[in-house]
């Protein structure tokens, strides 16, 4: 059972962000409440996607909304992604790594199969920003963050901000 009241924006290096998330075996009201909460967190922090671990829940679910609105936020449960197209490089950020940006190589296209909140199978082809969001969020479900994919130079550039995040986490983790 998920305590949705306790779900909140989770930042690096919280362990849930670094672990592989577990599949959802039953889509019930607590999952629907979690999805609703995740949409709210995404909108509050002005993101275009949010994965379960970012709300503190290690389950394979994410929400995505290209324009950052709640109306257009769609929920993907137990997603499976297949990459295609060419490799494109673009700057990315992550709500769990505030103020840290770096170039990330991604596939220009992908297709995704997942379940919706009614347990129905959904299948989508994506390109451009949407393909990038899908890949970023699926990475979260495997415990991979953008900083893991940074070049050596970008990693050095992010070092000080990561150190601050770690200090912040150490101070607040028992709160
Ligand atoms: Zn992220």
* CA 10 – ligand 1 centroid, Å: 10
CA atoms within 13 A of residue 16's CA, in its CB half-sphere: 19
For residue 18, what pLDDT is reported?
Answer: 98
CA 114, CA 123: separation in Å to the nearest integer? 7
Query: What does the pLDDT look like over 48-83, one tens digit per residue?
Result: 999 999 999 999 999 999 999 999 999 999 999 999
* CA 119 – ligand 1 centroid, Å: 25
For residue 70, what pLDDT is reported?
Answer: 98
* Mean pLDDT calculated for residue range 99-121: 97
Q: Does residue 16 surpass a pLDDT of 80?
A: yes
* CA 75 – ligand 1 centroid, Å: 16
Helices and strands counted in the chain (H then E): 5, 5
Q: Does residue 175 surpass a pLDDT of 80?
A: no
* Mean pLDDT calculated for residue range 96-105: 97
Instruction: State the chain's mean pLDDT as an integer.
Output: 96
* CA 85 – ligand 1 centroid, Å: 22
Query: What does the pLDDT look like over 26-52, one tens digit per residue?
Result: 999 999 999 999 999 999 999 999 999
For residue 1, what pLDDT is reported?
Answer: 77
CA 104, CA 117: separation in Å to the nearest integer? 30
The pTM (predicted TM-score) of the whole model is: 0.97
Q: Does residue 14 surpass a pLDDT of 90?
A: yes
CB atoms within 10 A of CB 17: 22
- Given 5, 80, 137, 170, which residue is catalytic? 137
Q: Does residue 172 surpass a pLDDT of 90?
A: no
Catalytic annotation on 137?
yes
Answer whether 96's CB lies under 8 Å from 134's CB: no
Q: Does residue 173 surpass a pLDDT of 90?
A: no
For residue 96, the SS3 value is coil
What are the structural domains, with CATH classification, of the chain? 4-172 (3.90.45.10)
Kindly report the three-state secondary structure assignment for every residue of 21-61: CECCCCCCHHHHHHHHHHHHHHHHCCCCEEEHHHHCCCECE
CA 49, CA 38: separation in Å to the nearest integer? 9
Q: Give percent above pLDDT 70 in the chain.
A: 99
């Amino acid at each position: 059972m998920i305590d949705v009241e306790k779900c909140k924006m989770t930042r690096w290096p919280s362990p849930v962000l670094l672990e592989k998330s577990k599949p959802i075996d039953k889509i019930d009201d607590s999952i629907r409440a979690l999805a609703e909460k995740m949409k709210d967190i995404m909108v509050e922090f002005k993101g275009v996607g949010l994965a379960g671990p970012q709300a503190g829940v290690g389950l394979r679910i994410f929400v995505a909304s290209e324009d950052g609105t709640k109306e257009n936020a769609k929920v993907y449960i137990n997603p499976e992604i297949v990459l295609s197209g060419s490799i494109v490089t673009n700057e990315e950020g992550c709500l769990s790594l505030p103020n840290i940006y770096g170039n990330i190589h991604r596939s220009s296209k992908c297709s995704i199969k997942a379940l919706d909140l009614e347990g129905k199978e959904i299948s989508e082809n994506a390109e451009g920003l949407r393909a990038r969001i899908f890949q970023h969020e699926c990475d979260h479900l495997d415990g991979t963050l953008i900083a893991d994919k940074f070049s050596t130079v970008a990693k050095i550039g992010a070092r000080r901000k990561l150190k601050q995040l770690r200090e912040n986490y150490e101070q607040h983790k028992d709160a």
